[in-house]
Amino acid sequence: MPINREKALVVSTLLLMGTFTSVSNAETVEDAYRKANGGTLFMLNDYMLRSGRYEIGSGDSDDAEIQNISVPGTYFFGEEGDDFRPYILGAVGYSHYERDDIRFDNGERGDIDNESLYLKAGGGIKYAINPELSILTGISATGLFANGGFDNDTPVSQKTKDLLQSDDTSWLVDLYSTLLVHPEPKEYKPYIAATLHYTSIYFDPESVNDMHGWSANLRGGFFTHELTRIWGMPVIEEVYANISVVDSDLSDMTGFDTSMTAGTEFYWKVGSLMPLPMLKELDVTFTLQGTVSNTDMSGYNIGFGLSLLKF
C-alpha cells in the first residue's frame, strides 16, 4: 500500500523483473512449492519490493527468477482535512517465476516454471490525530492464480508432479497499521512512515503448511518544490529511503530477512493543463530505485506510470 502520500487514484503500470533465490541445500518438494508461490505473493504485497529486478543469493544453479507486471491503485474518500477518511485499494498483475536445477531431499531434481495472475483488494481508515500526525489501518487480500509448470531432470514421483504442475490458488491476507508523520511543509514536504504487518499465506494443497509472520517497514523522504517545467507543466521529485524487516518464519520462505531501499520518483503534473477538474492532479511518473540487504540480495527498479493524487 502506498504510504508516502495520499493517492486519490493510481493507475500505475510497471514492468517488474526480479530474481530471488533459496538455499542450495536439498529441500522438500513442499518447501519449493511454498517458496515459489508464497515468496512471489509476499514480494507482490510489499510496497517497496514488488517492483524491480532482484538477485538474492550467491548465484547457485537453483536461484529463482521472477517477473511481474503490476497495476495498483488506491482511492481515499472524503476531503483533505477530514479527521476520518476511509479508503480502498487494489491491484491486478501477471507474474512469471522460474527456478532451475532444484535438488530435493528425496533425490529428485527438476525445474519450476510458473506463470500466474494475481488480484489484490482491500481498504481501511486514515485518522488524522493532528495536522502533522496520522494513523492508517487496514486489511488486504491477494490471490495468486498459478499455472504450474515442472520439468523433471530425473524420474520423479507422481506426488511431486501433481504438486509442482498443479494449477493452484494461494492467498495472502495482510493486516497492517501505519504511523505517518508529515510536518508542515515549507520549501519541501517531508514525511516519515512506520508500518507493522501481520501476514498470513494460505496454500491449496493440504501437504503444504500455511505461513504466518510479522514484518515492518520504516520509510522516510520528502517531496521537492517545482524543479522545472516541460511544455508548461511542472515537474516535482520525491526522494525516499526504506528499511524492511521480516521475521524468521517468513525469511525462511523469501530468502531474506532485511532489505534497504532508496530511490526517487519524478512527477510530471500534466493535469495542470487539463480542462476537466477531475484530471487536474493527473501525473506522469518515472521511478528509479535500488535495493540491498544484509544477505546477498541486491536489485533495482525502473518504471513509468500514471497517477491521480491529492497532497
Return the pLDDT at 142: 95
Boundaries of every domain in the chain: 9-308
Residue 112: which of 93, 131, 121, 99 has the closest Cα? 99
Q: Average pLDDT for residues 76-90, to the nearest whole number? A: 86
- Give pLDDT tens digits for 126-142: 999 998 999 999 999 99
Whether the per-residue pLDDT at 144 is higher than 70: the answer is yes
Return the pLDDT at 242: 96
* Whole-number average pLDDT of the chain: 83
- CA distances from residue 87 to 70, 121, 281 in whole angstroms, order as listed: 20, 11, 18
Q: What is the CATH number of domain 9-308?
A: 2.40.128.130
In whole angstroms, give the CA distance from residue 4 to residue 191: 7
Return the pLDDT at 206: 83
Q: How confident is the model at residue 59 (pLDDT cuts 50, 70, 90)?
A: low
Whether the per-residue pLDDT at 290 is higher than 80: the answer is yes
Cell of 199: 501476514
In whole angstroms, give the CA distance from residue 68 to residue 141: 18
In whole angstroms, give the CA distance from residue 141 to residue 120: 6
In whole angstroms, give the CA distance from residue 262 to residue 128: 27
pTM for this one?
Answer: 0.83
Residue 52: which of 246, 255, 302 has the closest Cα? 302
Top pLDDT among 119 and 248 is at 119
Residue ranges of the alpha helices (H) in 148-237? 158-164
Whether the per-residue pLDDT at 254 is higher than 50: the answer is yes
DSSP single-letter state for residue 104:
B
